[in-house]
A = this chain, B = another copy of it.
Amino acid sequence: MTGNIFTSLPKKSATEVFDILLQNKNIKIERIVSQGHTSPAEAWYNQEENEWVLVLEGAGTLLFEDGRQVTLEKGDFLHIPAHIKHKVTWTATDRQTIWLAVHYSSQLD
């Protein structure tokens, strides 16, 4: 339940690394560390839950199914409602990107 989000960073990994910082029935807070990773070309995230995402370090680009593309840099946050299809098309390759993601039930809107 307690920790530091900037420590215990993974070494360069073949895949993104997900760490759950808090999980309860209807909320999940996780740290995601990327370095050059992107979503598979054919795959979209289509989540049952709302997501609020904040980039703490690095940078990444999200593509939405409607063609909208958003690059998030350090400090940028964005809300992604449930079932809004999206994927990660770019993350910085020269440094780690640390995302904080808060997933919460769309039953609560």
- Chain A residues at the B interface, C-beta cutoff of 8 Å: 1-7, 21-22, 24-27, 29, 50, 52, 54, 56, 70, 73-79, 100, 102, 104-105, 108-109
- The copy count of this chain in the complex is 2
What distance in Å separates the Cβ of A102 from its nearest Cβ neighbour in chain B?
6
Given contacts A5-B77, A104-B104, 6 further A-B contacts (CB under 8 A): A1-B78, A2-B76, A3-B76, A24-B109, A26-B104, A105-B108
Residues of B within 8 A of A25 (CB): 108-109
Residues of B within 8 A of A21 (CB): 52, 77
A1 with B75, Cβ < 8 A, contacts A102-B29, A108-B24, A108-B26 known: no
